[in-house]
Amino acid sequence: MSSLVKDNPAKRRFEILVDDALAGFAEYAQPQGELVVFTRTEVDPRYQEKGVGSELVRRALDHVRARGGRVVPECPFVAAFINRHPEYAGLVTEAP
């Protein structure tokens, strides 16, 4: 199972493709500079319980970190992921 995570700014979401099929996405609000407010994460039922959601969030956060951004995890899934992976805690900031 090969996966690819990419930012889709037109739809304001990071998408994960598994074997070239859309398996899930993490939506964000209209960007405010380098601030990304994650609002919702959804994984296709066929890919749930397989680590796809965690892979999506991990790679989305890595993408934000690489461009020097910060995140507001309004989405409960993203917030829980960050709580379980403290190496991402430094990306979190308060909503403006």
Domain that holds residue 70: 3-89
CATH number of the domain at 64, please. 3.40.630.30
pTM value? 0.94
pLDDT in tens, 10-47: 999 999 999 999 999 999 999 888 899 999 999 999 99
Structural domain includes residue 32 = yes
Inside any domain, residue 52: yes
65-86 mean pLDDT: 97
Work out how many domains the chain is built from and give that number. Answer: 1
**Angle between helices 76-84 and 52-66 in degrees, nearest 10:** 80
Q: Is 94 among the domain residues?
A: no
The percent of residues above 70 in pLDDT, for the chain, comes to 99
